[in-house]
Structure 1
Amino acid sequence: MKFKHWLLFLLFFTLISAVFSQEKKVLEVEIKGAKKTKISFLRNFLSTKINTTLDSTILEKDIIQLKRLPAISHAYYQISHNYDNYYNVLITVEENLTITPDINFWTTTNKQFAYKLGLYDYNFLGRNIAFGGFYQNNRFDSYAINFSAPNLFSRKWGLKINHQNWKSEEPLYFKDKSANYVYNNISFEVLGVHQINFENQIQFGFNLFKEKYQYLSGFTDPEIPQALNLNKTLFKLVYTFDDLDYLYQYVCGFKSVLYAQYVLTENDYQNDFYIFWNDFFYYKRIGEKGNWANRMRFGLSSNENTPFAPFALDNNVNLRGVGILVDRGTGSIVWNTEYRHTIYDKNWLTIQTNLFTDFGAWRNPGGEINDFLKSENLHMYSGFGLRFISKKIYNATFRIDYGFRVNNNQNDSRGGLVFGIGQYF
């Protein structure tokens, strides 16, 4: 009996071993097409490694992760049998040109000429490091230096460091009156970056900054200072869920980004305050040449009756056609939806037409939640535009939109042109 038991055990063990020995193994991972990007970086970035089990699901995720890198415009893989249960994996990448200028020209509210000149490398040293800065003159001198290395320490840990000295003329609103101030923000920011898994990432850290306000023109009041100098500390958390997939200019899937900040300040005009907002993105392919894109933003901050409310109503941020820094609030609900259709697509250039509607509602400083439903706080614009997209240069999308007022809010601009670099969202 014992002999039979041992024989059955050996047969069972042999059968199990044979089954498991048939698992497909990765013998070699070859990467082609990378010129500037370091092959060693890409190997460490991938989850598919030599001597691991060949898993098509993991490979698909690797390809999506690669296409999310600024340096990679497209990627795909091939599997070939080597011997026994060992296979070779060939990953081919198409690189973007990642050294790009940041050039903008516009006129200020005083009809004066303004410009912004910058240069960024989004694949510095071939290791997915973004490094660069800009100089801006809009009657005032501004500059910034930015460093972002999400894989600096390992595949999942990185660092961001930013310094900015920003000056601009901005309106502050006091109920039905306004005044123009020179606003100056000098900041130093340090953030840790952690890739939790394929879909989830967090950023966390602090920002030490100084805000200065200097009165220029407009409404005055003895209780309102004509100059302010405020030191503040900001603690920041950014949580990203990203399930987007890219095929050149086309995007599909869902993405959510939560921003949470708490600001410590010591002055007589503003208390410590919090602010958070969440951006929800949804993209869907429509046929071969269409793309439906959506962004929903909801945000709230400490609800103080102050002209320094953080949520702005602005052309370049939320509603195309409304104007520049039209109003401020302590709460914001915005929905941007647009249909993009490709009308020209060759090796390096794509041209898209664009139909959009932008809707937004704001809570007044010190107001109530039902401010979102008041007609004077509701704003809606629709319009059309063009996109000129380089398929070989990262973020090289020149956009032009014309938005016109849809609702009957007579306080809003009738409409206008909006220019920019990169898709609106």
Structure 2
Amino acid sequence: MAIRILLFFIVVLNGLFSLAQDATVVNVQVQGAKRTKTTFLNNLVTLKAGMELDSVLLEQDVARLQRLPSVSHAYYQVFSSDTNVNGYNVYYNVEENFTLIPFANLFSSSNDAFAFRVGLQEFNFLGRGISLGGFYQYDVFNSFGVALRAPHLFSRTTGLSLSYNDFTTQEPVFFDDTTADYRYNNRGFEIMGLHEFNFKNRIELGGSLFTEDYEYLYGATSNNVPRSLKVDKHLLKFIYNYENIKYFFYFLDGFRSTLNFQYVGSTDTTLPEFLIGFNDFVYFKRVGDKGNWANRLRLGLASNVNTPFAPFTVDNNLNIRGVGNTIDRGTGAIVFNTEYRHTLIEENWFVLQGNFFVDGGSWRNPGGSFNDFSDKSNIRIYPGIGLRLMHKRIFNAIFRIDYGYGVTKDASRGLVFGIGQYF
């Protein structure tokens, strides 16, 4: 009797195992899209009819959809098929963002004058995940730029980006423990090929042709530093991105690493050719239902040329909140940003977040040594607090304001405004 019962359970378990193994996808549909082309979304998901039902692919497809600027949230549903005993219907449900976004950014220029940037960007052009936009900036001088980014132009994994910029600012140049202000213009275009190897790994490869133009305005002078300089340059760029981040509306959890390596060639030895590379390591952690801990570490080095036009800058809008606009330059950088974001108010579409942060970093002086990183005069630490006002249904509709207060030597303090999270 016991043998018969054992054989019965073996047969039943074997049958159940066979059914599980034979679970097949009969139909795949994407639901909820209004402004985004359904055919585009169907091409993005990897699970197709006829394939074995795979929970790993389901999770990856949802995460892939959530990365799209046009999608604020996505999830999947699986139902048994009425026509196939071992078949299943899969439904991906998306909640869309509004993606035609005007933006405005107010800030102070290098001489504390009023400055602003305004623009318009469509993140879902033609309903196919293409970003198209432009900006106008007034910061003592006029600047503008246009850009197009189509990561799925040629296939689900391969695309292209194009941009043109005519950017003019008033820039401080540092030499012999003094400072001079120059009118700086950078005009050129860039083309990059985009390719995704798999869900977590993708690269960008391309280059640009541009002209840099420096014109002396006022400040210190030196026989070794030209009053005017106009140089044609070319740039080759390689970007490798690894991303394993889970998205839940504006909450992030996971790790991302972005390597940016560039070779810049020059037609003038005054601005010689150089190599530059930096890597951003970013880590996010959900804390309860309302908290998000965010961290960024940037490590960067460039050719150690003793020039007042060094590539790494210390700047409010790039790395240290409250430090000021382009207060120093270097040929190496170590920067660490950490902040805790906490949701104070959340309604159907509106979110108010508060945050506490600490920004810190150090730079290698042009022509200096690695010991510069430990030099007290190069180290800057700025704790601070801030607010975020968000619209949950509009992509990147995050207005931020931060106040940073320096605690290191000769520190400053100040407000920093912007659109989007700082990192």
- TM-score category (smaller protein): over 0.9
> Which sits farther off after the overlay, 215-224 or 185-194?
215-224
Name the residue aligned to 1:355: 356
Which residue pairs with 1:148 in the alignment? 149
The corresponding residue for 2:220 is 219
SS in structure 1 at match of 2:241: strand
Cα distance in 2 between the residues matched to 1:109 and 1:174: 17
Q: Give the distance between the partners of 1:97 and 1:73, measured in 2 at CA.
A: 9
Which amino acid letter does the alignment assign opposite residue 292 of structure 1? W
Distance in 2, Cα, partners of 1:314 & 1:42: 39
Q: Is the 8 A contact 2:109 2:325 kept in 1?
A: no
- 1:23 alignment counterpart: 22
Amino-acid identity (%): 49
Task: Supply the distance in 2 between the matched residues of 1:109 and 1:153 (Cα, whole angstroms).
Answer: 42
Structure-2 residue corresponding to 1:7: none
Alpha-carbon separation, structure 2, partners of 1:52 and 1:33: 23
Query: Match of 1:419?
Result: 417
1:22-80 deviations in whole A, cap 9, x for unaligned? 51111111211101100000000000111111111100000011111111000001100
Any idea what the Cα deviations from partners look like across 1:110-161, whole Å, max 9, x if unmatched? Answer: 3433222210000100101000101112231111010000000000100000
RMSD over equivalenced CA pairs, Å: 1.4
Displaced runs of 4 or more, over 4 A? none
* Alignment match, 1:398: 399
Amino acid paired to 1:35? K
Q: How many corresponding residue pairs?
A: 407
Cα displacement string for residues 305-341 of structure 1 (whole angstroms, at most 9, x for unaligned residues): 1011111001110011111101000000000000001
For 1:75, the aligned partner's letter is A
Residue 61 of structure 1 aligns to a residue whose secondary structure is: helix
Q: Which residue of 2 aligns with 1:86?
A: 87
Question: What SS does the aligned partner of 1:416 have?
Answer: strand
Task: Name the counterpart of 1:61.
Answer: 60
**1:5 is matched with which residue?**
none
Contact in 1 for aligned 2:106/2:417 (Cα 8 Å) = no
Partner in structure 1 of residue 385 of structure 2: 384
Is residue 34 of structure 2 the alignment partner of residue 40 of structure 1?
A: no
Partner of 1:10: none
Q: Tell me the secondary structure at the aligned position of residue 319 of structure 1.
A: coil
**Contact 1:301 1:330 (8 Å CA) reproduced:** yes
Q: Following the alignment from structure 1 to structure 2, what is the Cα–Cα distance between the partners of residues 186 and 143?
A: 10
Query: SS state of the match for residue 206, structure 2?
Result: strand
Query: Secondary structure, in 3 states, of the residue corresponding to 1:225?
Result: coil
Structure 2 unaligned residues grouped into runs of 5+: 1-13
**Residue 330 (structure 2) pairs with residue 319 (structure 1):** no
Aligned letter for 1:116?
Answer: R
Verify the 8 A CA contact 2:381 2:406 in the aligned structure 1: yes
SS in 2 for 1:335: strand
Q: Offset at 1:256?
A: 0.2
- 2: CA distance between counterparts of 1:29 and 1:185? 48
Q: What residue identity is the alignment partner of 1:421? A: I
Instruction: Tell me the residue number matched to 2:9.
Output: none
Partner in structure 2 of residue 157 of structure 1: 158
Residue 70 of structure 1: aligned partner: 69
Displacement of 1:356 in angstroms is 0.4
Which ranges of structure 1 fall in alignment gaps of 5 or more residues? 1-14
Equivalent residue letter for 2:350: L
Q: Which residue in 2 is equivalent to 1:4?
A: none
CA distance in structure 1 between the aligned counterparts of 2:43 and 2:29, rounded to whole angstroms: 13
Letter in 1 for 2:22: E
Task: Tell me what 2:271 maps to.
Answer: 270
Q: Which residue of 1 aligns with 2:207?
A: 206
Matches for 1:108-123 after TM superposition, within 5 Å: 108-123=109-124
Offset, 1:21: 9.2
| Residues 344 and 352, structure 2, Cα contact 8 Å, conserved in 1 | yes
State whether residues 22 and 85 of structure 1, in contact with CA within 8 Å, keep that contact through their aligned partners in structure 2.
no
CA distance in 2, matches of 1:327, 1:207: 26
Relative to structure 1, is the Cα distance of residues 57 and 219 closer, same or farther in structure 2, using a 3 angstrom cutoff?
same
TM-score by length of structure 2 reads 0.94
375 and 107 in structure 1: CA distance in 2 versus 1, 3 angstrom threshold: closer
Residue 96 of structure 1 pairs with residue 66 of structure 2: no
Superposition deviation, residue 222 in structure 1 = 2.4
Q: Deviations 1:204-229 (Å, cap 9, x if unpaired)?
A: 00110100000000011223211101
Partner in structure 1 of residue 178 of structure 2: 177
Opposite residue 374 of structure 1, the aligned amino acid is D
Report if aligned partners of 1:397, 1:422 keep a CA contact under 8 Å in 2. yes
